[in-house]
Amino acid sequence: MSPQLIDLTALDLGIAGALVALLAGLSWAGRLGIGRSLLIAGVRTVVQLLLVGLVLETLFAHATLYWVALMGAVMLLVAGREVMARQKRRFAGLWGFGLGTAAMFLSSFSVAVLALAALVQPEPWYQPQYAIPLLGMLLGNTMNGVALSVDRLTDGAWQQRELIEGRLALGEPWTAAIEPVRYDATRSGMIPIINAMAAAGIVSLPGMMTGQILAGTPPLAAVKYQILIMFLITVGTGFGTLAAVWLAARRLFDERERLRLDRLT
């Protein structure tokens, strides 16, 4: 007999929130400079998740492709903004927003649609109970990979601009001149998900598997879903990182293959 889901009360959540407030107080007393950020992040977590819960309940009751696609588009645009906001040296103009957004669209959306249509196969294939959580996990992890890789690429190009320009002066194409920086950037974007896969089940229990088990799903069934999700996230993150690094690296050079760091702000 599967255990029933234990519903959490407002008091339970309040106690957990009080612990976050205590941590913020300790950081303020220690002058760590993160107390205010902790409190703001905690409030944002509550407000954003409550709003998402209300939206998802409405979406589940009116499961049409139009509303699911609209929800996915909003998630993509917000993720694109977060990628841009995390850059130390971002691209000027719409490139700062569009580059990461395009990379995530090409990777996360294609992998999500493939998984829904060919692997999970809910009926209909865009059923929001499966489509929205799957897309959210793919976008969230791809966002981290893209943000890390692009930040590493632009910062590396800035730090090694003399070396890159020297290689260009010796006749190397732009792809070869910036290849070491692209390698480091791609590696930085992929390391977190590789570490997550390597530690899954030993160091940590992944979030989706933990949630399903808490909801009463048999552990082996939850494990199968988690394996599928981990592989999909890895593929989405990898494709997104590769696309973002190539697009960003190409943007750093003009049609005459000159390094254009003035395109960064």
User: Of 34, 61, 88, which residue constitutes the final position of a domain?
Assistant: 61
Q: Is 237 found in the same domain as 132?
A: yes
How far is residue 164's CA from residue 251's CA, in Å, rounded to a whole number? Answer: 15
2-6, 102-106, 204-208: lowest mean pLDDT where?
Answer: 2-6
The vertex-239 CA angle with 233 and 244, nearest 5°, equals 120
Average pLDDT, the chain: 88
CA angle 88, 246, 196 (to 5 degrees): 70
- Per-residue pLDDT band for 212 (boundaries 50, 70, 90) equals confident
Say whether pLDDT at 7 is over 80. no
pLDDT at 204: 67
Same domain for 142 and 13?
Answer: no
Residue 23 sits in the same domain as residue 116: no
**pLDDT value, residue 52:** 85
Q: Do residue 127 and residue 157 come from a single domain?
A: yes
**pLDDT tens digit sequence for 45-97:** 999 889 988 888 888 887 788 888 898 999 999 988 888 888 888 898 888 89
Kindly state whether residues 49 and 83 are assigned to the same domain: no
pLDDT at 3: 59
CA-closest candidate to residue 206, choices 226, 233, 234, 228: 226
Residues 102 and 76: beta-carbon distance below 8 Å: no
Q: Render pLDDT for 215-258 as a digit per residue (tens, 0 to 9).
A: 777 888 888 888 888 899 999 999 999 999 999 999 999 999 99
Check residues 95 and 208 and name the one with the higher pLDDT: 95
Following DSSP, what letter does each residue of 230-257 receive, concatenated? HHHHHHHHHHHHHHHHHHHHHHTB-TT-
Q: Give the model's pLDDT for residue 57.
A: 85
CB of 141 closer than 8 Å to CB of 233: yes
Whether residues 21 and 71 fall in one domain:
no
| pLDDT score of 117 more than 70 | yes
Same domain membership, residue 219 and residue 92: yes
In a shared domain, residues 54 and 68: no
- Cβ–Cβ contacts within 10 Å for residue 158, how many? 15
pLDDT bucket at 2, cuts 50 / 70 / 90: low
Rounded to an integer, the average pLDDT of 109-122 is: 89
Examine the domain organization and report whether 24 and 92 are in the same domain: no
Same domain, 12 and 75: no
Looking at residue 5, its pLDDT comes to 66
pTM equals: 0.81
The continuous run of DSSP H or E covering 7 comes out as none
Report which listed range, 57-61, 159-163, 210-214, is most confident: 159-163
Same domain, 79 and 25: no
Per-residue pLDDT at 244 = 93
Residue 134's Cβ-count burial label (10 Å; 0-12, 13-18, 19+) is: buried
Domain edge (last residue) among 35, 61, 87: 61
Its domain, for residue 197, covers 64-263
Looking at the structure, tell me whether residues 57 and 69 fall in a common domain: no
Count: domains in the chain: 2
